[in-house]
Amino acid sequence: MGAKTERAERSIRELIASGQLGPDGRLPSERQLAQQLDAGRTTIRLILMKLATEGMIRSEHGRGYFVTAADDGSPSGAAHVEAPD
């Protein structure tokens, strides 16, 4: 994995772990994440699929990605991505 991809993944993980989105909170769209993190949408999509496989988030077709329950043991940290309004 390249450095840019690792930075993007770390930032998304930190956004989720920060609690900013809350339980069942919706993540920014792929397009928004790509712009905010200066990464391609394909890269963002792959990261989101990885996090979904790990159980950190879930995908709802046509609606987006949502944080799973807060008791997943997710690490805490400061977010580098702004939550949607």
Residue 66 belongs to a domain: no
Q: Indicate the SS3 state at residue 83.
A: coil
User: Does residue 47 lie in a domain region?
Assistant: yes
Note whether 17 and 77 are within 8 A (CB). Answer: yes
Residue pLDDT, tens place only, 23-74: 899 999 999 999 999 999 999 999 999 999 999 999 999 999 999 975 444 4
Helix ranges (H only) for the chain are 3-17, 30-37, 41-53
- Identify the CATH number of the domain in which residue 46 sits: 1.10.10.10
Within a 10 A sphere around the Cβ of 52, how many other Cβ atoms? 15
**In the prediction, which pLDDT does 74 show?**
43
pLDDT of 21 above 70 = yes
Q: How many domains does the chain have?
A: 1
In a domain, 54, yes or no: yes
76 pLDDT higher than 80: no
Residue 35 domain-assigned (yes or no): yes
